[in-house]
Structure 1
Amino acid sequence: MGAERIVALTDSYLAANQVTREFEVKDKRMEKYVKAVQQITILLNSFSIKQNPRGSNGRADALSRLASTCFCHLSKEVLVEVVKERSIDECQVESLSTTRPNWMTPIIDYLQHDILPGDHEEARKIRIQAPQYAILGGALYTKGNTSSWLKCIDNELGKKAFQEAHAGSDGARVGARALISKILCMGIY
């Protein structure tokens, strides 16, 4: 996302000291995480990890209590995402190339090259919309209401995303708002 300096806070004294190599890493899975952190920190101007006492980390405590709570007694639907793959496991990612013009093309042209469409009204719309977008790592992102940035995709990939979100175990029963919420949780716009 273009960050240059990161200060990471963790409530685990062991994890913080394993990342800084003050403690020896004995677990093979933890070794993969430490290597992944080190690969990322090479790209940064500065990185530090600090142990934050458990008592002063109210958000993490609330999240851990929520994760250990049983929701069987609730009558409303509670959306919980189960992550099946570890973040350290390698996965193949399909590269996206947008060669055909789509809805993002005028915005990208304006942000990268300061090129506006010939139509005065369209040019005005692009200038108004542009501050909501940013190009990060060669891809177009927009500011999200519930998350920091959402990756913009074209109609073809959007259809695939809807099919993927609809294919879940409850996909056929969810309403339009829940489906849109599921798509936004995937981090795409």
Structure 2
Amino acid sequence: MEKLVYALILATRKLRPYFQAHRIEVRTAYPLRHILHNLESSGRMLKWAIELGQFNLEYCPHTAIKGQTLADFILEFDSEVDDKAIVLAEPSSQGNAPAKVREEFPYPWWILHVNGAVNNSGAGAGIILVIPEGHHLMSAIQFKFYVTNNDAEYEALINGLKIALEVGVVNMITRIDSELVVNQVNGGFQARGPRTELYMRCVQHLLRKFGSAKLEGVPREENNNVDVLAKIGSQMDSVTLGQIPLGIQEIPSIP
């Protein structure tokens, strides 16, 4: 991550007049905005955050994660994670040749906390993605369309899973305090109504994209932090959450 920030610093220094005169979009799969505005930043990262703060930079996510971006992301965490934790597999160039036997190493497990909220002010979702090293990446989303309580839980779950897939997570444990959603997705309860069934199938489709994925129900008190994010996101006047990015979703995730 420091290499990416340092490259951005070098660009601002070499092209300082241009950066001062224009608004610059920085497209990256890394959560740079959250990291640079983290109140706990210190040392070089804090110094760089102050230096970049004088420019009009807008950090935007990639529309789709590329192979090299994923490789760079994995290499970034390679210094902090056991070197056997992550393995990149390359497809065989020989069509009918037998696959080479290779030793399999376990991928690290990430933890995703999600929650949806609906109240008199509006509706929103809270998302906290916990990376293997324990760092928390937080986000809130405000829904600009009508949702029920159940819809909001599903929307929060879908958005959280999409974020995890975008950054290349392989093994995921997802925790939500809606037992109804957990049982519908896991097959314990039947989805009632076509809208709920569409949401359920969408989540099941996303879960199948992971190497391994578990959806667990947790008590509300164990999901308190993400519940607060969801309630803040639901406020109609939530323009900014300070250090936490706020997304605006105009349309549902299902037809």
Q: Structures share a fold, TM > 0.5?
A: no
Which of the pair has more CA radius of gyration? 1
TM-score normalised by L of structure 2: 0.29
Greater share of strand: 2
